[in-house]
Amino acid sequence: MKKKQQHGGGDCPAPRPPAAAAAAAGGGPGPGQGGGWKRRRPLSLLPFLSLRDYGFCMAALLLFCLGSLFYQLNGGPPHFLLDLRHYLGNSTYLDDHGPPPQKVLPFPSQVVYNRVGKCGSRTVVLLLRILSEKHGFNLVTSDIHNKTRLTKNEQMELIKNISTAEQPYLFTRHVHFLNFSRFGGDQPVYINIIRDPVNRFLSNYFFRRFGDWRGEQNHMIRTPSMRQEERYLDINVCILENYPECSNPRLFYIIPYFCGQHPRCREPGEWALERAKLNVNENFLLVGILEELEDVLLLLERFLPHYFKDVLSIYKNPEHRKLGNLTVTVKKTVPSPEAIQILYQRMRYEYEFYYYVKEQFHLLKRKFGLKSPIRKPRPRPEFFIPSPLETEEPIDDEEEDDEKWLEDIYKR
């Protein structure tokens, strides 16, 4: 036994099991450890990390601490982190950060269609009813249908009601242009449709008297106070003998929808015309022409897909066409050439505005590669400035309750 120990060397300890080696590594070299055992680095608490890995971890910890300090100094996390958490799901959103950001809204999320009477508005409203159910936007309508001119307080109240509607919304009503920013609101995007002024006037003239194909007596309900002699008044007599309904300022109808609520907007003249043009350029996304309604709907679908996606296919659907045909005015007659020429003269500014909008609309179509129908253009009427006509102050046109007839259609 003694010889064996001497042979193995008196200074060299016997080999130890792995457990003993690990214990020695944690507590330092044992008392009998010789120079053949290397001293472990003090960082060996994490033996699986190299010195480079350990430095990386320390750098990450430093960044985390700086980020926490930034968090405390700025009162919360950056907005992009909140948005990211909300996108990943409410389960990752901390309650102590306050209410989550609003849902992502389409742009624009506030649209106003201050529809001009007898310019296809009932057809478009019917389409909007279908589209709002299909795409989930908020279609906001009004119970008031025949008040286009508002007092200052009425403007403030209406703008407040519109602005507080759930977004995205599309508000529609027969009302002259409203300046939301004047009352501290966010200015919405406007859209509208107009048509040839004389055709619009004739459609309204006979519609108030005889209605359309939706019912034989609906005109009697709409204008019950109209006297029989007025209801059956010949259109030529009305124009040639200068009845109030066929004279200014009653004929000055389209421009105020774009000019606004200023009293001068109801006076036929250059001031109202130029202001209407300015508002078209600055506040209206699109003003279309009823004579080219399919192109109008196509552009609306491109500009406002969240609202008008698939509108053209719905419009061309035979079932919708059947309903649309019910709104055609009945018993319309064409005035004599002399009466038409007088209307042209009295509606001079209306036609200047109509052709201005039409040119802008065709320019927009060309930008999107849409071709206007090839047809022989109608010659523009030759205007001369007529002498001022003394007429009575106009009475507000009695617009039909659009909501009622739409509800009647859905009940069928």
Q: Are 127 and 314 in contact (CB under 8 A)?
A: yes
Q: Are 363 and 107 in contact (CB under 8 A)?
A: no
Q: What per-residue confidence (pLDDT) applies to 321?
A: 75
Q: What per-residue confidence (pLDDT) applies to 35?
A: 47
Model-level pTM?
0.68
Please give the average per-residue pLDDT across 135-151, as a whole number. 93
202, 206, 211, 217 alpha-carbon torsion, rounded to 10°: 180
CA distance 163 to 157: 10
Task: For residue 160, give the DSSP letter.
Answer: H
Which sign does the torsion angle of CA 19, 21, 22, 26 carry? positive
Task: Give the residue from 404, 405, 398 showing the smallest Cα distance to 230.
Answer: 398
Burial classification of residue 314, based on how many CB atoms lie within 10 Å of its CB (0-12 exposed, 13-18 middle, 19 or more buried):
middle
Task: For residue 144, give the DSSP letter.
Answer: -
Burial classification of residue 258, based on how many CB atoms lie within 10 Å of its CB (0-12 exposed, 13-18 middle, 19 or more buried):
buried
Helical ranges in 101-242 per DSSP H: 121-135, 152-163, 197-210, 218-222, 228-231, 235-240
pLDDT at 399 over 60: no
Least confident of 5-19, 100-114, 206-220, 380-394: 380-394
Least confident of 269-278, 346-355, 402-411: 402-411
DSSP states of 45-114 as a string?
TSTTS-HHHHHHHHHHHHHHHHHHHHHHHTTS--HHHHHHHHHH-GGGS-GGG-SPPPPPPPSS-EEEE-
Amino acid in position 158: L
Contacts of 317 (CB under 8 A, 6+ apart): none
CB atoms within 10 A of CB 176: 21
Q: What per-residue confidence (pLDDT) applies to 57?
A: 82
Q: Are 268 and 257 in contact (CB under 8 A)?
A: no
Contacts of 40 (CB under 8 A, 6+ apart): 25
Longest dimension (CA), the chain: 147
Judged by DSSP in three states, 190 sits in strand
86 included as an active-site residue: no
Q: What per-residue confidence (pLDDT) applies to 328?
A: 64
Report the share of the chain in percent with pLDDT over 70. 64
* Residue-wise pLDDT tens digits, 173-204: 999 999 999 999 999 999 999 999 999 999 99
Of 399 and 50, which is predicted with more confidence? 50
Residue 216 token pair: 């034989």
pLDDT at 153 over 70: yes
Report the share of the chain in percent with pLDDT over 90. 51
pLDDT at 385 over 50: no
pLDDT at 144 over 50: yes
Identify the residue whose tokens are 């209306």.
350
Residue 136 token pair: 């989930």
Please give the average per-residue pLDDT across 245-256, as a whole number. 96
Of 92 and 353, which is predicted with more confidence? 353
Q: Which of 174, 262, 306, 320 is catalytic?
A: 174
Q: What per-residue confidence (pLDDT) applies to 378?
A: 60
Query: Across the chain, what does the average pLDDT equal?
Result: 78
Identify the residue whose tokens are 């309904």.
245
Task: Give the residue from 223, 150, 173 showing the smallest Cα distance to 397.
Answer: 223
Of 266 and 405, which is predicted with more confidence? 266
Of 291 and 107, which is predicted with more confidence? 291
pLDDT at 268 over 70: yes
* Residue-wise pLDDT tens digits, 294-335: 999 999 999 999 999 999 999 999 887 766 655 566 677 899
How does residue 107 score in pLDDT terms, banded at 50, 70 and 90? confident
CA distance 37 to 40: 9
CA distance 280 to 259: 9
* Residue-wise pLDDT tens digits, 66-95: 777 666 566 555 555 555 555 545 444 444
- For the chain, the residue count is 412
pLDDT at 26 over 50: no
* Residue-wise pLDDT tens digits, 366-379: 999 988 766 555 66
CB atoms within 10 A of CB 58: 10
Residue 249 token pair: 């300022």
DSSP states of 227-240 as a string?
-HHHHT--HHHHHH
pLDDT at 152 over 90: yes
Q: What per-residue confidence (pLDDT) applies to 54?
A: 77
